[in-house]
Amino acid sequence: MELDTLDVALLRLLTEHPRVGVLELSRLAGVARATVTARMERLRASGVVTGYGPQLDLAAAGYPVQAFVTLEIAQGRLDEVTEHLAALPGVLEAYATTGTGDVLCRLAARSNDDLQQILLELNRSTGIRRSTSVVVLSTVVAHRTLPLLTHGRQRGAHHAPSYKNPG
């Protein structure tokens, strides 16, 4: 789905004001409530917007240690490894990748000792040949999507006639 200027503006407003309602969102965007409702439904139906959950600070929630782990897995064992990773609560996300590793995981733990236990449990899978981990020292750029979505949107994309770009 191609996002236009209004779509990106609505997503930016939702990011900046995550608890805003449709009426306030329409006021902030300068478009009719029905336009916002229709656009948000289209963004949900197309799979662009997948949820409205809270953003969490893992350190504040008691999990200040994070690590990235690259896994080399045995040929044809991705499904088995996927099941194993999904069963470990400390695995926040995992991606099949190209390159020297086969899977890249992000882990969270309460302490370095806790991280070590998660790594030991992770390596109990017979489908994992080798793991290499790196501990996160600090976040340089937090997870974000808006810069990507806004890039190149100044070319006069489609939008509601009364919409004026606020920024």
The predicted pLDDT at position 157 comes to: 47
The domain spans of the chain are 5-54, 65-135
Write down the CATH number for the domain with range 5-54: 1.10.10.10
Sequence-ordered list of residues with C-beta below 8 angstroms from that of 69, at least 6 positions apart, any chain: 104, 105, 106, 107, 119, 122, 131, 132, 133, 134
Class of 65-135 in CATH = alpha beta
Per-position pLDDT tens, the chain of length 167: 889 999 999 999 999 998 999 999 999 999 999 999 999 999 999 999 998 888 889 999 999 999 999 999 999 999 999 999 999 999 999 999 999 899 999 999 999 999 999 999 999 999 999 999 999 999 999 998 999 988 865 444 455 555 556 55
The structure tokens 């949900």 sit at 44
The pTM for the full model equals: 0.80
The predicted pLDDT at position 52 comes to: 84
